Structure formats: structure tokens, C-alpha cells
């Protein structure tokens, strides 16, 4: 989860830079984790990119238990 989180945030950062923005321009993030057991490792990496006081609002959802349309 650490490597995946880092890759996703860095990919978002690249896209934002191409648009003339940065991670500081993000005001809200919605994060979907397969399992909330991954939250501590995810949060560890997330906190290297964003500060609690100035970072975006964040919603984190565990999708492991959500019903599927199968």
C-alpha cells in the first residue's frame, strides 16, 4: 500500500503540474481502500505529501465490504 499510495500521489502531482497547479491546490480527496487495515501505512505516506493543518479535506472509505453488482 505504501508503494501504491506514493505512485498515485506522484501521478496526480504530474497531472497537476501539467495543468499549472500543484498538490497545494487540492481542496478535497476521496480515498478508497480495499481494507481499512491498510489505513496506517496509507496515512504514513499521505502525511509526507500533505499537512493536517493545511492539506485537503479527506474522506477515506473501505470498499472491501461494499456490495457488488454481480
Q: Can you tell me the distance from the alpha carbon of 4 to that of 9, in angstroms, rounded to the nearest whole number?
A: 9
Evaluate whether 68 touches 34 at the Cβ level (below 8 Å): no
Kindly report the number of other CB atoms within 10 A of residue 62's CB atom. Answer: 15
Q: What is the CATH number of the domain that holds 54?
A: 3.30.1330.40
The reply to whether 20 falls in a domain is: yes
The reply to whether 67 falls in a domain is: no
Output the pTM of the full model.
0.85
What confidence score (pLDDT) does residue 52 get?
Answer: 87
In DSSP terms, 32 is beta-bridged to 61
The reply to whether 9 falls in a domain is: yes
What confidence score (pLDDT) does residue 65 get?
Answer: 66
The reply to whether 70 falls in a domain is: no
Nearest Cα residue to 43 out of 14, 8, 5, 4: 5
Per-residue pLDDT band for 70 (boundaries 50, 70, 90) equals low
Taking residues 33-48, what's their average pLDDT? 95
pLDDT above 90 for 67:
no
Amino acid at each position: 500500500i505504501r508503494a501504491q499510495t506514493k505512485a498515485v500521489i506522484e501521478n496526480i502531482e504530474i497531472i497537476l503540474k501539467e495543468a499549472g497547479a500543484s498538490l497545494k491546490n487540492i481542496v478535497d480527496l476521496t480515498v478508497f481502500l480495499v481494507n481499512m487495515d491498510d489505513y496506517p501505512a496509507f496515512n504514513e505516506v499521505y502525511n509526507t505529501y500533505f499537512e493536517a493543518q493545511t492539506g485537503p479535506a479527506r474522506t477515506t472509505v473501505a470498499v472491501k465490504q461494499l456490495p457488488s453488482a454481480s
